[in-house]
Structure 1
Amino acid sequence: MILKRTAMLIMAVVMSFAAMFTVTPGQPNVQASSQYEKLEKSINAILADVSKKSVVSSVTVRKASTGEVIYEANADGKVTPASTLKLLTSAAALETLGEEYRFTTDLLTDGSIAKGVLNGNLYLRGQGDPTLLKKDLDQFAATLSKQGVKTITGDLIGDDSWFDSVRLSPGIDKSDETFYYAAQISGLTLSPNSDYDAGTVIVNASPTKKGYKAKVTMTPDTGIVTVINKSNTVPKGSKNTLSIKRQHGTNTIVIAGNVPIGSVGKKEWVSVSNPTAYTMDVFKKSLSAKGIKFTKSSKVVRRVVPQNATVITSRQSMPLKSLMKPFMKLSNNTHAEILAKTMGKQVYGEGSWNAGLKVMDEFAQSVGLRSTEWNFEDASGMSHKNKATSAQMTELLFAARQAPWYGSFVQGLPVSGINDRFVGGTLKNRLTGSAVKGKVVAKTGSLNHVNSLAGYATTKDGETLIFSILTQGQKTTALPAIDRIATIIATTTK
């Protein structure tokens, strides 16, 4: 963990400068350093307006150089952080696993190869790698082919025992389960492309001829999914009403609605039920493409690799420091939950949410944060039961700057107004004005009736300020108000 001396410094700074304030509807009770009176008045005006709409807010701004609080409003009020909780997850993962941590996927057998026949079982064992792609499975198949394998007499077995069998965190609602942001978590999973939305398949529906069903393709192609196509191609200029959803508790994807001629149709990243079976199905197709067949008695099953199995080949993911970009820039929920379970496995030998969240809590305490000010039942921020305070969020961001992995941490954060999605991320279309473009580096968060933003801003004077803006209870989005506050912070002068 980060040196105790750093944690003591953080606590000393906090005790010297922090105080508690509460926002009440109509009149925020706030305080700011006298050097930042303009910032104070401007933010107060925005908070006064949103509080009239019964929005609960918690806002804190600190100096990055010392941790001194220069503005706070309801700083210790607990608010749902949404995806800004990933700041804690990523920091804990970098500290616990290390910047160079890589996920490993192994291909193994308990048999032997003779005259083109693998006499035994073939195993694929995962560690939850969210970056595993079909091309990697193709490479595994190619390795076998180069060894002369044409036939496998045993079973094709997936080992996902690195994690427990709980696939969804408590905060996932039934209505969310079809979508990529609520994909199931498995020790053996597959991503359809380099966005690394593990546990999903890309379904594309495009127009054909008037009166005919849409053409449907899947990436990667998999037989684990059944498609029911109820779509209809309609004349050019008609409204596109296509919907692509997986039926709850099944691997049946229903495509319904109208798709106009001349339109691009619709593309959805749809989560699959049972990512392990999905991965093994795609792998079997990779083997078949290389001319490798199984005997009639062979089955595709899920089982733990025996101790006498030998590794044929392995694949390692990119290091964790590189995963920070797709994880944090694109706010990937699956990555967050995989990292939580991985931390649990690393520290307690248990790839579960209970173990992983315990590690996150212990990390938070090790850097001087107060566990009583945080409540979380997942690592992605999907649950509305998650709670944090802006004061604690900014303390975390201050502590991160003292850590040896800070470079990896901050390079993963979205950058305001930068159109490149692997730079701007979820901020690429926000804070685009010349005065703030590229000046705010922060994590976004959004749920129903919840919006948040927390990170770092470079002011006109070249000073770095740490901020956290948490809101909940709004009937309409609070993003405009949040972006105005972020703009005030980034354009402030002493």
Structure 2
Amino acid sequence: MKINKKLSVLLAAVVLSMSSVFTPIAPTPSVEAASTYSAMQNSINSIMADSRMRASVSSVTVRKTNGEIVYQYYANRAVTPASSLKLLTASSALETLGENYRFQTNVLTNGTVSKGTLNGNLYLQGKGDPTLLKKDLDNFAAILKKRGVNTIAGHLVGDDTWFDTVRLSPGISKEDQSYYYGAQVSGLTLSPNTDYDAGSVIVEAKPTYNGRAAKIVLTPATSIVRIVNKSKTVPKGYKNTLKIKRNYGTNVIEITGNAPIGSSGKKEWISVSNPTAYALDVFKRSLAEKGIKLSSASKVVRGATPKDARVLLTKQSMPLKQLVVPFLKLSNNSHAEHLAKAMGREVYNDGSWDSGLQVMRDYATSIGLDITKWNFEDASGMSHANKVTSSELSMLLLQVRKEPWYGTLLKGLPVAGVNDRFVGGTLRYRMGGWPTKGNVIAKTGSLDNVSALAGYTQTADKETMIFTVLTQDYKTSTVPVIDKIASAITKSKK
């Protein structure tokens, strides 16, 4: 763990933030233009006059890489950042945990094996890994079988105590809790595929025969959820009205609506209630598939691993320098929250949101940011209560360029107009033409009536610019206007 108190950087940031600042002329969305960047500023002013921006609450800052602000519009206005907050989460994690940090999952026992029977408990101990997959549990089971384990006489115990027991961050609505982007966070959890949406299961409904219910497939297979299938297969040509949702506060997943013959049906990533029990259930299945059974007296329970238990098997995640790609490119909420709790555990020996978010505040302060202008109650940006100014977010993007891991952060950011999901990410279908395609590298943010974009682009003069655009409370999406701003910066010349 390292948190560098960069006093010299802090002083330089204060000086830079005081230079070349332009004040908006209310009520029109414009700034006084500096002569060398007047074309860019005039272009952005025209875009800001768009009715969609006038109807929103917005904050815009454009900086040079020396810190000089060349454009601002209410730069110190606090606006909901949505997922652009992940820029601070990722930066704090790279600094605090390090690029080579790996999450870990262990299999332990307090017993011994005799004649094929493990006389003792088997512990599945999670340390917050959001990348644990069914195949990893299959591998654990296969190795145990090779080591002669056929029966477990004790209990199968899931240990999630690396993190606290608070499963949901503030601001997660009831509607969001049913889906992967609002999944519960646990020290022991499981992902359904290599997008690593921890704590979720893929539910697929496919048409069968006319008049019959759709076929339901779970990935991975698990009995932790109960399926209530109210769907109906209908003739080809009918409208696909399938809906898949987990009932609030339960593990009951309801499938309703019509599945037309010949259609692809419906697929949803549904969060589970109690990720620890989910991981344990799938592990039990993996053991059974490899021929390892539990005794009649065995139970599947949650509990802490005793200190005298010995480690049998360990699985490590990919290093953080690789994890930032699915994390930032796909804007994975569960990665953000798992990293926050991991930071809290690392620095304060407390795997909680309170401690994790404090580490993020510590890091922000250490690089000269004004933490009084940041307010956040999660690490993913899901809460509408989160607020930051475009000036502060652009200062973060400025300061991290000095960090040894900056290249890793940059590689994680979405690239405009590039179709590959793990390159273009959330920008793969945006700004696909000249001059923005492959040039705008930035983190998106999106919530109901909130859109943000924060990152880097090169001007026509090959000068790197840092830009942040935050908007909220709009009636019509501001995304097209935000993209025009990014394009105007990219096209600009001195």
TM range (shorter): over 0.9
Q: Is the 8 Å Cα contact of residues 333 and 380 (structure 1) preserved in structure 2?
A: yes
CA distance in 1, matches of 2:404, 2:484: 32
Residue aligned with 2:341, SS: helix
Unpaired segments of 5 or more residues in structure 1? none
How far off is 1:18 after superposition?
3.8
Residue aligning to 2:10: 7
How far off is 1:317 after superposition?
0.3
Residue aligning to 1:224: 224
CA distance in 1, matches of 2:420, 2:442: 15
Residue aligned with 2:158, SS: strand
CA distance in 2, matches of 1:348, 1:22: 42
Residue aligned with 1:422, SS: helix
CA distance in 2, matches of 1:50, 1:339: 39
Paired AA for residue 8 in structure 1: L
Identity of aligned residues (%): 59
How far off is 1:257 after superposition?
0.1
Residue aligning to 1:62: 63
Residue aligned with 1:185, SS: coil
User: 1:69-118 deviations in whole A, cap 9, x for unaligned?
Assistant: 11111000000000000001100110111000000100000000111110
CA distance in 2, matches of 1:200, 1:300: 20
Counterpart check, 1:77 vs 2:77: yes
CA distance in 1, matches of 2:33, 2:182: 40
How far off is 1:414 after superposition?
0.1
User: 1:209-243 deviations in whole A, cap 9, x for unaligned?
Assistant: 11111111000000101000000111111110000
Residue aligning to 1:289: 289
Residue aligning to 2:363: 363
Paired AA for residue 236 in structure 1: K
User: 1:145-168 deviations in whole A, cap 9, x for unaligned?
Assistant: 011100110000000001100000
Q: Is the 8 Å Cα contact of residues 23 and 73 (structure 1) preserved in structure 2?
A: no
Paired AA for residue 11 in structure 2: M
Residue aligning to 2:374: 374
Residue aligning to 1:48: 49
How far off is 1:24 after superposition?
4.4
**Correspondence 1:227-242 to 2 at 5 A:** 227-242=227-242
Residue aligning to 1:147: 147
How far off is 1:13 after superposition?
1.6
CA distance in 1, matches of 2:32, 2:383: 31
Unpaired segments of 5 or more residues in structure 2? none
How far off is 1:371 after superposition?
1.0
CA distance in 2, matches of 1:103, 1:51: 43
Residue aligned with 2:18, SS: helix
CA distance in 2, matches of 1:298, 1:411: 47
Residue aligned with 2:32, SS: strand
**Correspondence 1:248-397 to 2 at 5 A:** 248-397=248-397
Residue aligning to 2:159: 159
Residue aligning to 2:32: 31
Structure 1 residues 46, 172: closer, same or farther in 2, change over 3 A?
Answer: same
Q: Is the 8 Å Cα contact of residues 414 and 443 (structure 2) preserved in structure 1?
A: yes
CA distance in 1, matches of 2:93, 2:460: 33
Out of 96-105 and 43-52, give the one that drifted further. Answer: 43-52
Q: Is the 8 Å Cα contact of residues 19 and 69 (structure 2) preserved in structure 1?
A: no
Q: Is the 8 Å Cα contact of residues 33 and 42 (structure 2) preserved in structure 1?
A: no
CA distance in 2, matches of 1:18, 1:365: 22
Counterpart check, 1:209 vs 2:209: yes
**Correspondence 1:179-194 to 2 at 5 A:** 179-194=179-194
Counterpart check, 1:425 vs 2:420: no
User: 1:150-209 deviations in whole A, cap 9, x for unaligned?
Assistant: 011000000000110000001101111101100000000000000000000000111111
How far off is 1:48 after superposition?
2.0
CA distance in 2, matches of 1:148, 1:416: 53
TM-score by length of 1: 0.98
CA distance in 2, matches of 1:186, 1:214: 32
Counterpart check, 1:467 vs 2:467: yes
Paired AA for residue 39 in structure 1: M
Q: Is the 8 Å Cα contact of residues 52 and 474 (structure 2) preserved in structure 1?
A: no
Paired AA for residue 179 in structure 2: F
How far off is 1:6 after superposition?
2.6
Q: Is the 8 Å Cα contact of residues 444 and 454 (structure 1) preserved in structure 2?
A: yes
TM-score by length of 2: 0.98
How far off is 1:52 after superposition?
6.8
The count of residues paired between Structure 1 and Structure 2 equals 491
CA distance in 1, matches of 2:79, 2:26: 14
Q: Is the 8 Å Cα contact of residues 24 and 51 (structure 1) preserved in structure 2?
A: no
How far off is 1:358 after superposition?
0.7
